[in-house]
Structure 1
Amino acid sequence: MTELPRKAAARTARLAALPLGYAGRQAVGLGKRLGGKPAEAVLTEVQQRTAEQLFRTLGELKGGAMKFGQALSVLEAALPEEVSAPYREHLTALQDSAPPMPTSTVREQLAKQLGPDWDQHLVWLDGAPTAAASIGQVHRGRWRVEDSGEELDVAVKVQYPGAGEALMSDLRQIARVAKGVAPVFPGIDIKPLVAELQDRAAEELDYHLEADAQAAYAEAFADHPDIVVPGVVAVGTEVLVSEWLDSAHSLAHVIREGTQEERDHYGELFVRFLFEGPRRTGMLHADPHPGNFRVIPGADGSPGRLGVLDFGAVARLPDGQLPPAMGRLIRIAIDSDEESLVAGLRAEGFIKDRITVDPAMLLNYLSPFVEPAAQERFGFTRDWMREQFERINDPRAESFTLATKLNLPTSYLLIHRTWLGSLGLLSQLGASVPFREILEESLPGFARA
């Protein structure tokens, strides 16, 4: 067996062990309950141990396992504190790191993707990666421009060999073991998340597509005073060379150690980027995990700028903008116009024909999407995010039955996931943001006529 199949087989075996481990812990938990230990305490203990195994496994793997872990990590704010606290360190580590690729393999990839004379352009390459992600890693380098001889500091993103095969294999395996993973994330439907990752995988593996999106964003934000997108220098299907972004750290660091002023400042810049992006480019940056957003320190203590990386997951929006109905429906909900809200959601396909819903209950159910836009400034917190997930996913609540009657149109799938991930990131930050003002400026259909 060659090295790549051997590693893939090892990954599959370790992922397959996750539900088995959970089943074993359930059996132990049953024994403890029979022995008199409270059921809630046993459930929490089972969740904690399952989570520790899950994130330890994901943190040591690449491919789909790593990408799945990163997708889950932005929803960490929704987990009960007694469950999330013991393994938060494992989980947040997924947002910034992954195991490195050998230097010899990096050079082989560069020659394959950029041609045998790649080192005539890339005149220096740091042997150690500066960052790593689910399907590749980044090295700092220096690029000589052929016409002028000018040398640029660059970031060289190199895809792991066989990443495509590993990614799809891991996602298929995770789909099969989703039942064993689900108890770690009560209230989060794992299967649709994995299915959506599978649908987007082919696009994320092609760096030509990513380069096109990044170049469009770099041009569109070139004049922005607070948001920086590095330009594209060179590209191959599995190698992407971009301008180097001088950055102290990512938003993951601000989440861990930032002051309230920093949290509010970068939270606001993040939301402005999220909604200005579609308006300027016709695309939605759809990967809102903290490692993709970099802090660029300001001079003399002035507020810093926000650098944005990784354009592998973008939604190319119909008509080049977010759906105007989205803004109109949020505004209608803020105005508590229940009947118009039901009619508008039905027209967009969120409520299918012959399905009846209680308008007041529907308005309450949608509050996580509406509440931040209903105030001058909204303070996102882990407690708020956790409360929303618990409220709409409690089987004893009326809203839980309502959820089964709603439909998510295909055109909104990636928008919905991005919105939820963004709420999770802002709640991790604990940021206070002028959300309504930003929507009035950048979300079609939201501003009052």
Structure 2
Amino acid sequence: MTELPRKAAARTARLAALPLGYAGRQAMGLGKRLGGKPAESVLSDVQQRTAEQLFRTLGELKGGAMKFGQALSVLESALPEELAAPYREHLTALQDSAPPMPTSTVRQQLTAHLGADWRQRLVWLDGAPTAAASIGQVHRGRWRDEDGTEHDVAVKVQYPGAGEALMGDLKQIARVARGVAPVFPGIDIKPLVAELQARAADELDYTLEGEAQAAYAEAFADHSDIVIPDVVAVGGEVIVTEWLDSAHSLAHIIREGTQEERDHYGELFVRFLFEGPRRTGMLHADPHPGNFRILPAPDGGLGRLGVLDFGAVARLQGGAFPENMGRLMRIALDEDPESLVAVLRQEGFIKDRIEVDPAMVLAYLAPFVEPAAEDRFTFSREWMREQFERINDPRAETFTLATRLNLPTSYLLIHRTWLGGIGLLSQLGATAPFRAILEESLPGFARE
């Protein structure tokens, strides 16, 4: 058996063991309940142990396993604190690191995808990676242009066989998703995995990524606070971009930032999220903290925000957010239930033969647009947990409403990015002028 199939088989076995471990802990929990331990305490214990195993396993893997873990990591703020605290370190680690690829393999990839003469352009390459992600890793290098000018670059190299491993992992994760779903009360794992599978091919195509990043770099070239590095070269499974001199990502601000830093970078993140579609017609759809870098400000004040990794990008129909997305938020804020249901039907969120109570629909959706109701809104883990607990409370009148609503295909990636973005802001604990930013950049939201 060759090395790649052997590793893939081991990865599959470890992923398959996750729900088995959960089932075993459930059985142990039953014994504890029979022994008189409260059910809530037993559930918490089982979820904690399962979560620790899950993120330890995902953190040691590449491919779809790590991508799945990164997607979950931005939703960590929705988990109850007693569940989130013991393994928050595992989640954060997923956002910034992964096991490295050998230097010899990196050079083989460079030769295969930049050509045998790559050393004439890439005159220096750091042997150790500066960052690693789900399907590739990044090295610092020095690039020589045709006129002899040299400058620092980031060289992202895809793991050999990453495509096969990614699709295989996602297929396996789809099978085990139900088994690990109880770790994440309030998060529907199955659609998340399905959406990751649908987008996997795009993320493996570095040519597409290079086109998206180049468009973003040009569109934000005049922005004083948001920096996107230019693309230098693209070749199959290698992409070379300008180097961003940054020691920390937003994960550092989440762990150690002052409130002033949290508010500053939170606002820049929101502005980037909504200005991107307006400037480029595309949505950067991978909002985990490792993709957002802290850069020094020219004037010595609070820093700028650098943005990396344009592999997951939604190319929006019509080149912008759907206009009715902004209209829906405005109607919900104006508390007009009849108009809200009418636009939801128009967009496909409510199918033709489905009957709903407009007042209940408004009650269900109103808290989601709460950040746009105030001049400045403070995102927090507590607020996000309240929303997840509210929509998953079987005692609530609105509990069954979610099963009657439909998420149109055109909103899938927007929905995931929106949810991930809110999760990141809640981890930051940022206070931001959310409403003003929506009025500037979200079609249909501003009052006419």
TM-score of the pair, normalised by structure 1: 0.99
**Cα deviation, residue 167, structure 1:** 0.3
The within-5 A match list for 1:53-92 is 53-92=53-92
Secondary structure at 1:336's aligned position in 2? coil
Write the distance in 2 (CA, Å) between the matches of 1:46 and 1:204.
34
The question of 1:100 aligning with 2:100 is answered yes
Shift of residue 369, structure 1, vs aligned partner: 3.0
Structure 2: give runs of 5+ residues left out of the alignment: none
Alpha-carbon distance, 1:299 to partner: 4.3
Aligned length: 448
Q: Which residue of 2 aligns with 1:161?
A: 160
Aligned to 1:6: 6
Deviation at 1:395, TM superposition (A): 2.3
Q: Measure, in 2, the Cα distance between the counterparts of 1:352 and 1:237.
A: 42
Question: Residues 382-403 of structure 1: CA distance to partner in whole angstroms, max 9, x if unpaired?
Answer: 0000000000112222222000
Distance 2:89 2:116 in 1: 42
State the match for 2:110 in structure 1. Answer: 110
1:351 and 2:359 aligned: no
CA distance in structure 2 between the partners assigned to 1:158 and 1:350 by the alignment: 40
Provide the C-alpha distance between the structure 2 equivalents of 1:187 and 1:418, rounded to a whole number of angstroms: 17
Given the alignment of the two structures, is residue 446 of structure 1 paired with residue 445 of structure 2, yes or no? yes
Name the residue aligned to 1:21.
21
Q: How far apart in 2 are the matches of 1:55 and 1:223?
A: 40
Q: Judge conservation of contact 2:15–2:172 (CA < 8 Å) in 1.
A: yes
Following the alignment from structure 1 to structure 2, what is the Cα–Cα distance between the partners of residues 368 and 50?
31
User: Matches of 1:208 and 1:395 in 2, distance apart?
Assistant: 47
> What letter corresponds to residue 370 of structure 2 in structure 1?
E
Instruction: Say whether the 8 Å CA contact 1:248–1:297 is kept in structure 2.
Output: no
Equivalent in the alignment of 1:411: 410
Structure 2 CA distance for partners of 1:368 and 1:413, relative to 1, 3 Å: farther
> C-alpha distance in 2, partners of 1:109/1:372?
46
Q: Distance in 2 between matches of 1:399 and 1:414?
A: 25
Q: After superposition, where does 1:207-222 map in structure 2 within 5 Å?
A: 207-222=206-221
Separation in structure 2 between the aligned mates of residue 248 and residue 299 of structure 1, nearest angstrom: 16
The separation in 1 between residues aligned to 2:15 and 2:366, in whole angstroms, is 36
Partner of 1:124: 124
* Structure 2 match to 1:183: 182
Question: For the residues of structure 2 that align with 1:250 and 1:362, how far apart are their CA atoms?
Answer: 38
1:364 aligns with 2:363: yes
> What is the rounded CA distance, in whole Å, between the counterparts of 2:156 and 2:196 in structure 1?
21
Structure 1 residues 334-390: Cα deviation after superposition (integer angstroms, max 9, x where no partner): 000111001111111101112111222211211343101111000000000000000
Letter aligned with residue 84 of structure 2: S
Q: Distance in 2 between matches of 1:206 and 1:10?
A: 26
- Structure 1 residue aligned with 2:262: 263
Q: Which residue in 2 is equivalent to 1:48?
A: 48
- The whole-number CA distance in structure 1 between the counterparts of 2:71 and 2:268 is 21
Instruction: Rate the CA distance shift 1:41–1:198 in 2: closer, same or farther, 3 A.
Output: same
- Percent of aligned pairs sharing the same letter: 85
Aligned equivalents of 2:184, 2:308: Cα separation in 1: 28
Is the contact made by 2:333 and 2:366 (CA closer than 8 Å) also made in structure 1? no
Contact 2:60 2:98 in 1 (8 A): yes
Q: Secondary structure at the match of 2:96?
A: coil
* Aligned CA distance change for structure 1 residues 58 and 85 (closer, same or farther; 3 Å): same
Match of 1:244? Answer: 243
Matching residue's letter, 2:210: A
Structure 2 partner of 1:133: 133
Contact kept? 1:78, 1:385, Cα under 8 Å? yes
1:225 aligns with 2:224: yes
Q: CA deviation at 1:139?
A: 0.2
Q: Secondary structure at the match of 2:415?
A: helix
Residue 366 of structure 1: SS of its match in structure 2? helix
Quote the Cα distance in structure 1 between the aligned partners of 2:343 and 2:179: 38
Checking the alignment, whether the CA contact within 8 Å between 1:251 and 1:295 is kept in structure 2 is: yes
> 1:396, 1:105 → 2: CA distance?
56
The AA in structure 2 aligned to 1:121 is: R
**Distance in 2 between the 1:123 and 1:163 partners?**
26
CA shift, 1:247, in A, is 1.1
> Mind listing any 5+ residue stretches in structure 1 that lack a counterpart?
none
Report the AA paired with residue 9 of structure 1: A
Residue 205 of structure 2 corresponds to 206
Distance 2:299 2:153 in 1: 26
Tell me what 1:295 maps to: 294
Provide the C-alpha distance between the structure 1 equivalents of 2:16 and 2:9, rounded to a whole number of angstroms: 10
Measure how far apart 1:61 and its partner are: 0.3
- For 1:13 and 1:136, the matched residues in 2 are separated by 22
2:276 maps to: 277
Give the residue type in structure 2 aligned to 1:423: I
Alpha-carbon RMSD? 0.8
Q: 2: CA distance between counterparts of 1:110 and 1:398?
A: 58
List per-residue Cα deviations over 1:100-143 (Å, max 9, x = no partner): 00000000000000000000000000000000000000000000
Aligned letter for 1:34?
L
User: In the aligned structure 2, how far is the partner of 1:315 from the partner of 1:329?
Assistant: 20
Alpha-carbon separation, structure 2, partners of 1:298 and 1:274: 20
Deviation at 1:300, TM superposition (A): 5.6
